[in-house]
Amino acid sequence: MPDTINMKRVFSGIQPSGDLHLGNYVGALKGWVNQQNNRDNFFCIVDLHALTVKQNPDELRDRTLQTAALYIACGIDPIKSCVFIQSHVSVHAEVCWLLNCITPLGWLERMTQYKDKSLRTDSILAGLLDYPVLMAADIIIYDAHEVPVGEDQKQHVELARDIAQRFNRIYGETFVVPEPVISKTGARVMGLNDATIKMSKEHSKIRGHAVRLLDDPKEIERSFKRAVTDSYNEIRFSDDTERAGVNNLLGIYKVITGKTESQVEKDFENLKGYGSLKTIVAEVVIEELRPIQEKYARIMNDSGELHRILLDGGEKAAEISESKLSEVKYKMGLLNL
């Protein structure tokens, strides 16, 4: 076990609400793996969050395990990082209630993800509105300093900061105020079929929208072949919305290869046509995912080992968060006999 005493603590999570995709990988997982050696890490599979939209119970259970296996396959090392399932540590839901009692409704109603998602459903569940309070509980009960997420989650981490500060003001210094950590590239991978919307699990069933981490090479190639581009026939980075498709492809290539923008543009300098661009980007993605897919298959073959990792992780997370819970309950005036 690494000595974590002087390390910054990191907390992050992914919902097991669908198949993990390239956006989850470059916007979250890849960054977690890169930072893992010099941080005290908590990586959670946030199954309670997944319940905020309708789920098939058997599928949710399967996907929870598959998501955990993908964390490990992508390079999360259970020796260096605590990997666990949110619903295994009941402190998360309990602290969510306590934080609900200091969170103004208006703060939740202005969350853009809530506004977007509630527009697309005719029956808005209370859990959807409360989602960011559970997320705040996830983060602050561990006194996490850093929360590495994609751009879309920045507003939620800022809300967790506001909630932590409000609690500290009312009841005295209790929580560390967390910082969002958003990578410069890959923080917002767009849909391949529509580069105006972010790649997401919710849309990953639409043909050609997402590259899923477990797609086979042929499928990945097909998705890139179908990707939207434009009629400029010019391979360079651009903020122009009309060129968002090509910009997205270059962004994916950049983050996977770790090259700078000018190196990337140089790589494509003498290339004729978007067809070759798509083939080259597909190739680097296929090669990046190949070892992950192989490791995933090995892990799923011996799920006993994975169960052990998750049980150990849950135990460690419970121990740390329970001591914070006692402090919070006491400060809020709950009787402890």
Q: Which residues are catalytic?
A: 117, 198, 201
Residue closer to ligand LTN, measured from CB, 46 or 190? 46
- Picking from 83, 70, 77, 78, the residue whose alpha carbon sits closest to that of residue 294 is 70
Q: Does the protein bind ligand ATP through residue 194 (CB under 6 A)? A: no
CA dist 56 and 271 (Å) reads 46
**Cβ–Cβ < 8 Å for 30, 124:** no
Residue 199 interacts, among ligand LTN, ligand ATP, none and using kind-specific CB cut-offs from 5 to 8 Å, with ligand ATP
Per DSSP, 198 falls in state B
Residue 188 interacts, among ligand ATP, ligand LTN, none and using kind-specific CB cut-offs from 5 to 8 Å, with ligand ATP
Strand extents, DSSP E, 233-333: none
Residue closer to ligand LTN, measured from CB, 213 or 227? 213
Residue closer to ligand LTN, measured from CB, 13 or 191? 13
Per DSSP, 189 falls in state P
Residue closer to ligand ATP, measured from CB, 215 or 328? 215
- Picking from 132, 139, 148, 150, the residue whose alpha carbon sits closest to that of residue 177 is 139
| Six token digits for residue 214 | 């477990």
Which residues here bind ligand LTN, judged by CB under 6 A? 11-13, 15, 46, 49, 135, 138-139, 147, 149, 153, 156
CA dist 138 and 93 (Å) reads 9
CB of 49 to ligand LTN, least distance (A): 5
Q: Which helix (H) or strand (E) holds 286?
A: helix 274-301
CB of 11 to ligand LTN, least distance (A): 5
Q: Does the protein bind ligand ATP through residue 201 (CB under 6 A)? A: yes
Q: Does the protein bind ligand ATP through residue 17 (CB under 6 A)? A: yes
CA dist 177 and 158 (Å) reads 10
Residue 147 interacts, among ligand LTN, ligand ATP, none and using kind-specific CB cut-offs from 5 to 8 Å, with ligand LTN
CA dist 312 and 85 (Å) reads 11
The single residue among 92, 145, 161, 198 that binds ligand ATP, judged by CB under 6 A, is 198
Q: How many residues bind ligand ATP (CB under 6 A)?
A: 20
Candidates 73-81, 138-146, 150-158, 235-243 — which segment interacts with ligand ATP by CB under 6 A? 150-158
Give residue 77's identity as a one-letter amino acid code: D
- Picking from 163, 174, 155, the residue whose alpha carbon sits closest to that of residue 110 is 155
3-state SS class at 16: coil
CB of 122 to ligand ATP, least distance (A): 18
Residue 138 interacts, among ligand LTN, ligand ATP, none and using kind-specific CB cut-offs from 5 to 8 Å, with ligand LTN
The single residue among 187, 211, 252, 285 that binds ligand ATP, judged by CB under 6 A, is 187
Residue 220 interacts, among ligand LTN, ligand ATP, none and using kind-specific CB cut-offs from 5 to 8 Å, with none
Map tokens 């890849």 to a residue: 30
Half-sphere exposure of 104 (CA within 13 A, CB side): 6
Residue closer to ligand LTN, measured from CB, 12 or 248? 12
Residue 135 interacts, among ligand LTN, ligand ATP, none and using kind-specific CB cut-offs from 5 to 8 Å, with ligand LTN
| Six token digits for residue 2 | 């690494």
CB of 149 to ligand LTN, least distance (A): 5
**Cβ–Cβ < 8 Å for 211, 201:** no
**Cβ–Cβ < 8 Å for 203, 191:** yes
CB of 175 to ligand ATP, least distance (A): 21
**Cβ–Cβ < 8 Å for 244, 195:** yes
Q: Does the protein bind ligand ATP through residue 15 (CB under 6 A)? A: yes
Interface residues with ligand ATP (CB under 6 A) are 14-15, 17-18, 23-24, 27-28, 149-150, 152-153, 187-189, 198-202
